[in-house]
A and B are shown apart, each in its own frame.
Chain A
Amino acid sequence: MIKAKGLKKTFNKGTIDEKVAIDGIDLHVSKGNFVTVIGSNGAGKTTLLNLISGTVEPDAGEIFLDGSRVTHLPEHKRAKYLGRIFQNPLTGTAASMTIEENLAMADLRGQPRGLRWGVTKARRDFYREKLKMLELGLEDRLKESVSMLSGGQRQSLTLLMATLSLPKLLLLDEHTAALDPKTAQRVMDLTDKIVRENNLTTIMVTHNMHQAIRYGNSMIMLHEGRIIFDSEGDSKRALTVEEVVRRFGADLKDETLLS
């Protein structure tokens, strides 16, 4: 589904602030797989997702999505392949617009937009059905502005928006990190449910070792822009936090990873 070869990205090249964020990454995620990505602050996790989505252009390497080369394709032209949720709950929705308007925009992901009505009666019923799944009562608040929602509600709505038109690849960037533990768990369970039900190919970045081990069928660990460990299938299932810490504890001076 997604293939990346020899990806490299250095920010502020040739200046005093030069920072190698991605230092040669090869990645292959086949259809229907759920990969978790773990690593400490500044390891390059977000940058890796930005390279895949086209938010950032690589200095070297190639990216293929669904068989086509997208390395230098602008972000808005990759949209038809990708659903994405950001680290910051405010990034995923347009706050001044209503819940149904946000869903309607997500409904047209990657499609040409015209002068037809943004929200139609038939689609509104569909959105209502989908919102019921969140069990947050949002189905009765379709015409309310998103700015009225809490962070957890907004991130749940973003999750729905990102998966509404069943993207070929779902990119999740610590999408539960800014939520309180209980809400975070709810959103994570919901994510897992949606991903399984639709068999979505998913890359999920997380800071939390337990989460990385518990969800998905393979895991990679990033450190200073490189993949230092990967594990899949049975060996991933047998993985424990203690084992990972024993092997990489020295590198990962980052307590949040283990919390």
Chain B
Amino acid sequence: MLFYGFWRTIPISLEQGLAYALVALGIVISFRILAFPDLTVDGSFALGGAVVSRLIMEGVPPIYGILMAIICGFIAGCCTGLLNTRLKINSLLAGILMMTILYSVNLRIMGRSNIQLLTVNTLLTPLENLDVNRFIPIIAFFFVLTFIVKFLTDMFFQTQIGFAMRATGDNEQMIRTLGVNTDNMTVLGLGMSNAFVAFSGALVAQDQGFSDIGMGIGMIVAGLAAIIIGETLIGKTTVSRMTLAAIVGSIIYKFIIAIGLRLGLAPTDLKMATGGMVILALGFPALKKGKEAKLHLRGV
């Protein structure tokens, strides 16, 4: 019985893991590459969902809705970056401020606290209408999409600007003496990060058939959990490893959650369980070696 349930969770974990993978990929850019603890994520995820659902309801083709969601996420991330670099607001607080502001913005965009998409055509509708098991085309679609984004991200971080962005997170003083405006790099990187997150929000809204004002709550912690799981398996020595770790971690995280639910974990306790996972993962090294948990972060 349990074994049967175990296998049953695989397709749903794959589907959800891949749909949420871009959140983890976005968090890799902010937390890992820029070393910037960006908490905008909870807001920008719901923003992506809000924008795409509203536009689809207005009759805009879903693909344009998604593009708009990505652009809005980018702008939201840039705003956090500007709060931090221009107004010198602490990085954690800047993210929290944007997250809070986005709550109102998202309500305005949607006009109410949730929008149903089950009866309208989304980007995924043609795939769902295919004459095969629903999971196959959907998983294939998310898989291809996620890996295209991953490879483009990897390529970006091998360019001149990509180097400058990585160095901004690694050694800000050094890259500034080489003539890079690190403030601009921070703003651009946070924009990219939240564009990915909003992209994911837009996909998830269409996948689950609704968007909701609360759909982003806890997203940052879930994304961090995914990254930590992925990095333990795959490592983080190169950018392409980090992005792969984000995707694999996201799938495994969803898998663990699905198993947990099958074993009787109450859905209401999910966020607590995820939080506990992250605390364990971040705090474990400290308990073991008597050292500080190592998470190099800037601007706090």
Contacts and interface: CB of A to CB of B under 8 A. Distances in A.
Contacts of B175: 94, 105
A117 B171 contact: no
Nearest to A88: B173
B231 to A, nearest CB: 13
A92 B159 CA distance: 21
Interface of B is mostly: helix
B181 A76 contact: yes
B159 A109 contact: no
A53 B179 CA distance: 11
A104 interface: yes
Given A94-B170, A105-B167, A113 B160 contact: yes
Nearest to A171: B177
Interface string B162-182: 111011001101111111111
A97 B166 contact: yes
Contacts of B237: 145
Contact of A115 (B160, B166, B167, B171): B160
Of listed B156, B162, B171, B179, residue having the most chain A CB within 10 A: B179
Given A113-B160, A117-B159, A118-B163, A97 B170 contact: yes
Contacts of A115: 156, 159-161
Interface stretch (A6-14, A39-47, A77-85, A225-233): A77-85
B174 A93 contact: yes
Interface string B132-170: 000000000000000000000000101111111011001
Nearest to A80: B179
A111 B158 CA distance: 17
A97 B179 contact: no
Contacts of B160: 104, 108, 113-118
A75 interface: yes
A91 interface: yes
Nearest to A86: B173
B166 A92 contact: no
A173 B90 CA distance: 31
Contacts of B182: 76
A106 B178 contact: yes
Chain B, interface size category, equals: 20 to 34
Contact of B171 (A76, A93, A145): A93
B177 A97 contact: no
A198 interface: no
A190 to B, nearest CB: 20
Chain A, interface size category, equals: 35 or more
A95 interface: yes
Contact of A109 (B156, B171, B179): B179
A86 to B, nearest CB: 8
B234 to A, nearest CB: 16
Nearest to A161: B178
B177 A84 contact: yes
Interface in A95-153: 95-97, 101, 104-106, 108-111, 113-119, 145
B170 A113 contact: no
Contacts of B177: 53, 75-76, 79, 82, 84
Nearest to B184: A76
Interface string B75-88: 00000000000000
Contacts of A55: 173
B178 A114 contact: no
Contacts of B179: 76-77, 79-80, 108-111
A49 to B, nearest CB: 11
B11 to A, nearest CB: 36
Contacts of B170: 94-97
Contacts of B164: 105, 113
Contact of A95 (B156, B158, B159, B171): B171
B166 to A, nearest CB: 6
Contacts of A80: 179
A78 to B, nearest CB: 8
Interface in B203-256: 237
B294 to A, nearest CB: 13
Contact of B176 (A75, A93, A106): A75
A106 to B, nearest CB: 6
A106 B175 CA distance: 8
B173 to A, nearest CB: 6
A101 B237 CA distance: 14
B167 to A, nearest CB: 4
Contacts of A105: 163-164, 167, 175, 178
Report, nearest first, the 9 A-B pairs whose CB atoms are least far apart.
A79-B179, A113-B160, A110-B179, A94-B170, A118-B163, A94-B167, A94-B171, A115-B159, A96-B170
Given A95-B170, A116-B159, A117-B158, 7 more contacts: A76-B180, A93-B171, A101-B163, A105-B164, A108-B160, A117-B159, A118-B163
